[in-house]
Amino acid sequence: MPAYPIHPPRGLNRILWRLPIGLYRVRLGWLLGSHFLLLTHTGRKSGQPRYVTLEAMRHDKATDTYFAAAGFGKKSGWYLNLQKTPQAEIQIGFRSLKVEAHQLPLEKAEREVLEYGRRHPIILHMLTRIIGVPFDGTEEDLRILTRSVPIVAFSPRDK
């Protein structure tokens, strides 16, 4: 089954995608609610803290695990950084949590994307247009999308 080529944003688009980080820096991240999270991770080359705002696809309250998609594919900087250093921190609203990140196996990722598509069909259509992926809403298209867009789980880690 093929995967779509997805490229992270550059130039002005990159600046626009990074604007929500400013809300967290001035302690207004709570305005984004529980639908978004700020990920603080370690740069794979620099070793310096890096920041990105991600959509929280789902929160599993039983395990306190958050799920997010690497919307711009496997070349997303944050995704590559987590491959090297999976220990990170997330902030959701007023809450901060030290986490361990791991990519979901394909079968579990497909289930997450299918469920997300059922809960948020309009948002999913908008997001696939933004990243330039053809999408007609079928389960087959969702499965192809999952091969292009890794799903990452952020689970609490011991302190």
Question: Per the structure block, which two tokens stand in for 122?
Answer: 């309009």
- How far, in Å, are 40, 82, 118, 145 from residue 79 at the CA level? 12, 5, 25, 16
The torsion angles phi and psi of 17, rounded to 5 degrees, stand at -65, -25
- How far, in Å, are 49, 111, 148 from residue 82 at the CA level? 12, 22, 17
The neighbour count for residue 93, using CB atoms within 10 Å, is: 15
Write the CB contacts of 61 (distance below 8 Å, at least 6 apart in sequence). none
The neighbour count for residue 9, using CB atoms within 10 Å, is: 16
58/67 Cα distance (integer angstroms): 5
pLDDT at 38: 94
pLDDT at 56: 92
pLDDT at 32: 74
CATH number 2.30.110.10 is the correct assignment for the domain at 11-156: yes
- The residue length of the chain stands at 159
pLDDT at 82: 98
pLDDT at 135: 74
Q: In the chain, which stretches have pLDDT less than 50?
A: 1
Domain limits, the chain: 11-156
Question: Per the structure block, which two tokens stand in for 84?
Answer: 């090297």
pLDDT at 13: 63
